[in-house]
Structure 1
Amino acid sequence: MNDADPPKPDSRAYLYVLRSVVVVAGLGGISYGYALAVMSGALLFLKNQFHMSDVLAGFVTSSLVLGGVLGAIFASIIADHCGRRFANSLSVIFLIAGVIITVIANSVPILILGRVILGLAVGAITVVAPMYTAELAPARMRGAMVSVFQLAITLGIMIAYVADTYFSSDAAWRWMFALNLIPAVIAFIFLFFIPRSPRWLVTHNHIEEAQEIFTHTQGKQNVSVELNRMRGEESDMSHAKWSAFLDKKLLKVTLIGMAIMFFQQASGVNIIFFYAPFIFESAGFQSNQSALIATVSVGIVNFLLTIFAVIFVDRWGRRPLLLSGLSLIVLSLLIIGTTFYLKDSLIDSHVVEHLQSQAISGHAAGANLAHAVDIQRSMPSHPQTSESHWLGYITLAGVMLYVGSFAFSLGPMCFVVVSEIFPNKIRSKAIGLALTTNWLSNFIVVQTSLSLLDTLGASFTFWMFALFNVAAFIFIYRVIPETKNHPLEEIERRWIVNTERMR
């Protein structure tokens, strides 16, 4: 093979490989979203069968977070040493094992073990799926392919809501958990048909295999030149160790990625989902209506606007979606906070305590919504005046604006940007650190903000989150480059090496 007459890519093989990659990432996202949300409906049955206190139920639920943190860290190490596909395969195996253990659990310790193993799996998936997809995707469609992961998470949550509604017997929780085997097993089958990451192969000197895969996945006409350029970028990057982060430029970009994932959680997304049923109740809906509207309409808006992001991320770019979405998020939080200020609304302390005991990690997803609905049903209703009725509707509009804005911006774009901005040398470890930050910050934000809701009230809490999003807007505007249509190595050369400023 010579550079003057490179082979034309096989379009059928090209599309088959890309579709398989997207399917695996999407199925991982569905399993992840389902695992997060299904506990909302299963928890009532679990508490009855195992006689759990609220504190113990909260620990069972949040044990997924412990596994998620560990999974994100270990996945980054395994992906470096053994490859992205191997790490992906291992995460799916752990996913299947975790589901089976939770299904057959006959005691609380076994149930917790299953949840921790599930956490290991989904924590690894959040690291490996976006990274693997970004390294295989052509630059012109990389944003859409990575965004499918977030879209799949929202789909998994909607499926969990349906499952929670359909299963209603005492043994239903086993069937709820068992459904997650379907996407997990299908993903395992597809793993046999996806290639290894060509960028990982280059760093480990498997050039011929990388060239073959790169031809099928990138569809480029001059693969040899592209690989030679990649090898030049990777000449000293085969075995990056943690000491590589002592380099100021690498440390800086890693901290930027961690900050992006922190801002995703500091946006207040899970507080919005926690509080949505109470907001709908304030709009004058009765409890059953409130539960239906909160679960269905919020989930649909979240899903549809994520589709919007998938369609336009590679046309408009990452920065326009992030900045426009953040602007609308700030506006929506100001609306919500102001309407609650006019209503002088506070949440009863016992409600906050109950929510805190059940807080779990729910990356941009609303996994806690159905449980919040159950709590809202148990609260006494209050008579509605004409003024408070209309304020409630305005608040409802603010919530929908927030959910839709988040769905096309911070939700998928954070995964896209984090999968792109790191040099190949540190990509897996840096993404692992960024997603670990995401898991931890989500748990911390949910716990602390629920206390703020109790002490400060809804209005000041939502205004505080508006300030966080203003900070996120400034940070992204000043720091985050536009990565649309740029090969990963070019992003590194133009941004990390600073030969050009990317905007």
Structure 2
Amino acid sequence: MASKPDRITGFVLVVAAVAAVAGILFGFDTGVISGAILFINEDFSLTSATTEVAVSSVLMGAIIGALFGGPLSDRVGRRSSILSAAAIFLVGTVVVVLSPIFSIFIIGRILIGIAIGVASFVAPLYISEIAPENIRGALVSLNQLLITIGILIAYGVNYYFAAEGAWRAMFLAGLIPGTVLLVGMFLMPRSPRWLMFMNRPGDAEKVLRKIRGTPDVSDELGEIEKSMRTEGAGTWSDLFAPGVRLPLLLGVGLAVLQQATGINTVIYYAPTIFQFAGLAEATASIAATVGIGIVNVLVTLVAIWLVDRAGRRPLLLGSLAGMGIAMLLLGIGFAFEGGGGGAAVSLGQVTAVSLIIYVAAFALGLGPIFWLIISEIYPLSVRGLAMSLATVTNWAANFIIAATFLSLVDLIGESGVFLLYALIAALAWLFVFKLVPETKGLSLEQIEAYFRSRGRVGEETRPRNM
């Protein structure tokens, strides 16, 4: 039987699903803080500045994890890196739950951040390297689906414990997905492309045979080997080689824009935003946030169905347009806030509609496709390093947005902040329209060859199918 890299087997679906559980860790911790912070503020008597520290401390850890996760994933492998992340997540969660003082709480949050900083890009990297090319977009996007499910689970946990203000119990629930990931990944194979990278072709062939369901994987092995011969082993300086510059620009640019358009302001501070809009009770604002979490999950399912049909570019462009319109609507709503009881109800409705549109648009494109794109566009020789750099940039931008949101609100008001995010969404649309190519239906090696052949930025907008 001829080697077929697009062959779909049940085992490859299981491997992708288990690795995608890393997304639950990412999503759960992202979502749980939004409700827990309302009660952490009371227990630790936090100010606006220390509240921002409590929210953003996990991002400090994520930057560290993403920075060292790239070299780690190249040295010990994708699977071992995910296992390490799961173990660190469990330790950090226990520290947070048992923290007697605010400083210990911050240490636990940083440990959790290190774990999700590693897992946030190694999981989609691992999935992209085992996935058949014809459903690679859908399988890598499973990670984003699990992120949204993790956020929704966190919102549900927050709502369940909100009446008692039991924020420690909210965090404790994170032990369940952390344990599932640790046990599940222990049973999964290593990435065949990483095995080839480590000069273990025999082991790579065994894994490929199992995940492709065929005894003959010579064509795919040959394509991987040819790619490795062309590029050689990669270093940090190789990120600036001619064939990598454009992918580097795309990855770093999308990393910044994904966060600068304000998504994690919405995720981290959704209950706070609803309180700005007039929902004073913590339980009510958390309940409103659950609806946003449901929309996030449902639209991500639509994105998974569309990504290998409609392609990456159309979804990205439509996503950014919707996000910009939603932020514009939200900014106008706050600008015309009247301050009375009726106005508060009206503003609450505008806020709910705007946030639903915004999250739906994000989930349709920019949410899953950023992680998909950066798992596709880099050469194998520098894939771990390049994804590490893009992820560090993403978490750094996330940190800046989360750490400055309340301060920006104090400085330019709610309306000013949301209008600023609308402007950034417009700039992001132009960036994608001009620079991001379509990678649907191409193997990782074909995408690599396309970028190697590019003479200059902007020469083409789509790789050729080879």
Whether TM-score is above 0.5 comes out as yes
The equivalent residue for 1:473 is 429
Once the two structures are superposed, the pairs formed by residues 240-251 of structure 1 within 5 Å of their partners are 240-251=234-245
* TM-fit CA distance, 1:390: 5.4
The equivalent residue for 2:297 is 303
Distance 1:64 1:103, change over 3 A: same
Alpha carbons 2:55, 2:268 under 8 Å: kept: no
The equivalent residue for 1:358 is none
Distance 1:333 1:42, change over 3 A: closer
Alpha carbons 1:50, 1:108 under 8 Å: kept: yes
Q: Deviations over 1:33-91 (max 9, x none)?
A: 22223234444555555565554454344321111100001111111111111111111
Once the two structures are superposed, the pairs formed by residues 322-471 of structure 1 within 5 Å of their partners are 322-341=316-335, 343=336, 382-384=340-342, 393-471=349-427
Alpha carbons 2:54, 2:106 under 8 Å: kept: yes
Distance 1:8 1:74, change over 3 A: closer
Q: Deviations over 1:248-281 (max 9, x none)?
A: 3323321220111111011122334567557657
Looking at structure 1, the residues matched to 271 and 167 of structure 2 have their Cα atoms a distance apart, in angstroms, of 23
The equivalent residue for 2:25 is 31
The equivalent residue for 1:176 is 170
Looking at structure 2, the residues matched to 95 and 131 of structure 1 have their Cα atoms a distance apart, in angstroms, of 19
Distance 1:278 1:123, change over 3 A: closer
Give, as a single letter, the amino acid of the residue that structure 2 aligns with 1:494: Y
Looking at structure 1, the residues matched to 161 and 324 of structure 2 have their Cα atoms a distance apart, in angstroms, of 38
Q: Could you tell which deviates more after superposition, 80-89 or 390-399?
A: 390-399
Distance 1:52 1:277, change over 3 A: closer
Give, as a single letter, the amino acid of the residue that structure 1 aligns with 2:341: P
Distance 1:121 1:337, change over 3 A: same
The equivalent residue for 2:264 is 270
Alpha carbons 2:300, 2:363 under 8 Å: kept: yes
* TM-fit CA distance, 1:195: 1.1
Kindly indicate whether residue 233 of structure 2 is the aligned counterpart of residue 233 of structure 1: no
* TM-fit CA distance, 1:292: 5.2
Looking at structure 2, the residues matched to 327 and 48 of structure 1 have their Cα atoms a distance apart, in angstroms, of 39
Which of 114, 122, 126 lines up with 1:128 in the alignment? 122
Structure showing greater radius of gyration is 1
Distance 1:20 1:471, change over 3 A: same
The equivalent residue for 1:372 is none
Which of 4, 11, 16 lines up with 1:16 in the alignment? 11
Give, as a single letter, the amino acid of the residue that structure 2 aligns with 1:383: G
Alpha carbons 2:3, 2:218 under 8 Å: kept: no
State TM-score, norm by structure 1. Answer: 0.82
Q: Deviations over 1:114-154 (max 9, x none)?
A: 22211111110012011111111111111111111111112
State TM-score, norm by structure 2. Answer: 0.88
Of all paired residues, the percent bearing the same amino acid is: 37
Distance 1:116 1:418, change over 3 A: same
Count of residue pairs the alignment pairs up = 458
Looking at structure 2, the residues matched to 331 and 464 of structure 1 have their Cα atoms a distance apart, in angstroms, of 12
Looking at structure 2, the residues matched to 54 and 325 of structure 1 have their Cα atoms a distance apart, in angstroms, of 32
Q: Secondary structure at the match of 2:342?
A: coil
Looking at structure 2, the residues matched to 31 and 195 of structure 1 have their Cα atoms a distance apart, in angstroms, of 21
Looking at structure 1, the residues matched to 280 and 250 of structure 2 have their Cα atoms a distance apart, in angstroms, of 45
Looking at structure 2, the residues matched to 444 and 32 of structure 1 have their Cα atoms a distance apart, in angstroms, of 18
Looking at structure 2, the residues matched to 60 and 427 of structure 1 have their Cα atoms a distance apart, in angstroms, of 32
Kindly indicate whether residue 149 of structure 2 is the aligned counterpart of residue 193 of structure 1: no
* TM-fit CA distance, 1:226: 2.1
Alpha carbons 1:279, 1:392 under 8 Å: kept: no
Kindly indicate whether residue 53 of structure 2 is the aligned counterpart of residue 59 of structure 1: yes
Distance 1:220 1:398, change over 3 A: farther
Distance 1:23 1:54, change over 3 A: same
* TM-fit CA distance, 1:196: 0.9
* TM-fit CA distance, 1:328: 1.6
* TM-fit CA distance, 1:97: 1.8
Distance 1:101 1:219, change over 3 A: same
Alpha carbons 2:4, 2:217 under 8 Å: kept: no
Which of 429, 445, 449 lines up with 1:493 in the alignment? 449
Structure 2 stretches of 5 or more lacking a match? Answer: none
Looking at structure 2, the residues matched to 227 and 344 of structure 1 have their Cα atoms a distance apart, in angstroms, of 62
The equivalent residue for 1:223 is 217
Q: Deviations over 1:418-458 (max 9, x none)?
A: 11111111111111111111111122234445444333334
Give, as a single letter, the amino acid of the residue that structure 1 aligns with 2:205: Q
Looking at structure 1, the residues matched to 334 and 244 of structure 2 have their Cα atoms a distance apart, in angstroms, of 44
Q: Could you tell which deviates more after superposition, 462-471 or 104-113?
A: 104-113
Q: Could you tell which deviates more after superposition, 210-219 or 484-493?
A: 210-219
Looking at structure 1, the residues matched to 278 and 107 of structure 2 have their Cα atoms a distance apart, in angstroms, of 42
Give, as a single letter, the amino acid of the residue that structure 1 aligns with 2:388: G
* TM-fit CA distance, 1:471: 1.4
Looking at structure 1, the residues matched to 38 and 285 of structure 2 have their Cα atoms a distance apart, in angstroms, of 16
The equivalent residue for 1:502 is 463
Distance 1:486 1:68, change over 3 A: same
Give, as a single letter, the amino acid of the residue that structure 2 aligns with 1:401: I
The equivalent residue for 1:367 is none
Structure 1 stretches of 5 or more lacking a match? Answer: 346-380
Q: Secondary structure at the match of 1:456?
A: helix
* TM-fit CA distance, 1:319: 1.0
Q: Deviations over 1:322-351 (max 9, x none)?
A: 11111222222232233333x167xxxxxx
* TM-fit CA distance, 1:410: 0.9
Q: Deviations over 1:189-241 (max 9, x none)?
A: 11222111111111221112112222332457862122112211101545311
Looking at structure 1, the residues matched to 50 and 427 of structure 2 have their Cα atoms a distance apart, in angstroms, of 36
CA RMSD of aligned residues (A): 3.0
Q: Deviations over 1:357-379 (max 9, x none)?
A: xxxxxxxxxxxxxxxxxxxxxxx
Kindly indicate whether residue 84 of structure 2 is the aligned counterpart of residue 90 of structure 1: yes
Q: Deviations over 1:302-333 (max 9, x none)?
A: 12111111121111111111111112222222
Q: Deviations over 1:444-492 (max 9, x none)?
A: 2344454443333344433322221121111111211111121101111
Looking at structure 2, the residues matched to 175 and 308 of structure 1 have their Cα atoms a distance apart, in angstroms, of 32
Kindly indicate whether residue 103 of structure 2 is the aligned counterpart of residue 145 of structure 1: no
Q: Could you tell which deviates more after superposition, 273-282 or 400-409?
A: 273-282
Alpha carbons 1:17, 1:194 under 8 Å: kept: no
Give, as a single letter, the amino acid of the residue that structure 2 aligns with 1:456: I
Kindly indicate whether residue 156 of structure 2 is the aligned counterpart of residue 158 of structure 1: no
Alpha carbons 1:337, 1:459 under 8 Å: kept: yes
* TM-fit CA distance, 1:159: 1.5
